[in-house]
Amino acid sequence: MRTKELINWGSYDVDNFGDLLFPFLVEHFLGREYSDILHVSPTGTPSIWPDAKQSLTIIEALGRVSQPELIVGGGNLINTSASSSINYVEKPAFAKIVHESFAWVPYVLLANYGIPYAYNCIGVAKSIPPAKRQLIRCALEAASFISCRDEASLSHLRLAGVRSPIVVAPDSAVDVARVFPIEAMRVHYATEVRLKYALPSDGTTAVIHVKERYLKDDFPAFVMVLELLCASGVHPILVPLGMCHRDDRVLTEPRLRDLRVTCIQKPERILDILSMLAVSRYYLGSSLHGAITALAYGNGIAIVADEEASRLKKFSGFLSHVSLGHCLFDSWKDACASLAVAGMDICETMSDATARAMATRPDPWEAIIRGFRTERPALRLTVDVDLARTAREHYLI
């Protein structure tokens, strides 16, 4: 009999395609283990997308559970920098602590309420500053289970002094096609999406995602990429996957108006975006979860992101799991040059051997449950005065 509840803690109050996938994944793969799953975010703010899973605040969730466990749901959640998301920046003090709170809120809940927690394929954005390493080490080492999504994240945690066992595994979104089968995506695309967004009724399409951070001065090259796609018989569909990062602003650029492309300024539903990524043969862009989703449905991908400039190794980290490191381009100029020579061959799919390895890898969700069910020595946790004050001020815990 399922008696425990699960608190799924993550950034589910931001309008970002990748973040909002995780509640669906958690419900699908862990629903059989729990009597109820509550998605919890820093503010509990509803998404602009009505089919997103609604989240609660922490204090709201605590009022609805009696015997919970907690999972840090996934994504780039171990991060000590201030947030620039439009969902958080209106309150500067909160924006300063919200990223790091994804790590320490579970620790405070365990210390104050006895709620065990696990980290699920988390990303560690960058090297953790020395002043924050003790905080991150204490938060991680009290967890029942830790997995991170790439070797760079593992290295950052070890440098911070985390000694606990850590499993390195691909981002959970790699299994999204098991949650939303391709047949259902094709039906949704054919009956709703194609007509809603005036997409071509036949021919080949490519989902394109562009982010200002990686665009830099490459707009002419980006335009040339779109023109090369059109010349190859591929219709580009430009989709802003990170509305919270203002990805839609790029799509207002006047130089896009005369191109034979579809610009979707504001997708109406998460399922619309998902079906476009599932059905389109290609994906080119700067969203990790856009690429992972397209790849999960057997489509070819190319990622454009300057990891040296951003110091984010999440793209190469994922691509190393699927042996597609050569599908990462530093700039749209580089992608354009390769596209001009190799055509659509720059967008590659997983090999059959890699796909089999993904399908038969150890179940990451079962590992989380085993972590919770494994007896551990009783922990005597203390929350220092400053952290306790911050937790009370921003989260009422």
- Give me the pLDDT at residue 38, please: 98
Cα–Cα–Cα angle for 297, 301, 305, rounded to 5 degrees: 135
Q: Residue 221 has what pLDDT? A: 96
Positions of the chain with pLDDT under 70? 1
Contacts 24+ apart (CB under 8 A), 296-301: 296/173, 296/174, 296/175, 296/176, 296/177, 297/177, 297/182, 297/185, 298/182, 298/349, 298/350, 299/347, 299/349, 300/344, 300/347, 300/348, 300/349, 301/327, 301/347, 301/348, 301/349
Residue 148 belongs to a domain: yes
10 and 131 inside one domain: yes
Q: Which residue has the tokens 């190319």?
A: 302
150 and 207 part of one domain: no
d(CA 99, CA 391): 13
Does residue 176 belong to any structural domain of this protein?
no
CATH of the domain at 251: 3.40.50.2000
Question: Are 347 and 367 within one domain?
Answer: no
- This prediction has a pTM of 0.96
Answer yes or no: do 256 and 139 share one domain. Answer: no
Is residue 376 located within the same domain as residue 281?
A: no
**Residue 266 located in a structural domain:** yes
Q: Residue 148: beta bridge partners?
A: 122, 168
* Whether residues 236 and 376 fall in one domain: no
Give me the domain span that covers residue 101. Answer: 5-169+362-395
* The pLDDT of residue 260: 94
Q: Does residue 390 belong to any structural domain of this protein?
A: yes
Q: Are residues 346 and 366 in the same domain?
A: no
pLDDT score at 374: 93
pLDDT reported for residue 115:
96
In a domain, 312, yes or no: yes
CATH number at residue 370: 3.40.50
Does residue 374 share a domain with residue 290?
A: no
pLDDT at 286: 96
**Among 5, 86, 15, 78, which residue's Cα sits nearest to residue 52?**
15
Q: What is the pLDDT of residue 1?
A: 54
Q: Are strands 117-124 and 75-78 parallel, antiparallel or unpaired?
A: parallel
Residues 242 and 269 in one domain: yes
Number of domains forming the structure of the chain: 2
Are residue 350 and residue 381 in the same domain, yes or no? no
Q: Residues 201, 309: one domain?
A: yes
Q: Please check whether residue 174 lies inside any domain of the structure.
A: no
**Are 27 and 146 in a shared domain?**
yes
Tens of pLDDT, residues 18-49: 999 999 999 999 999 999 999 999 999 999 99
Give the 3-state secondary structure of residue 377. coil
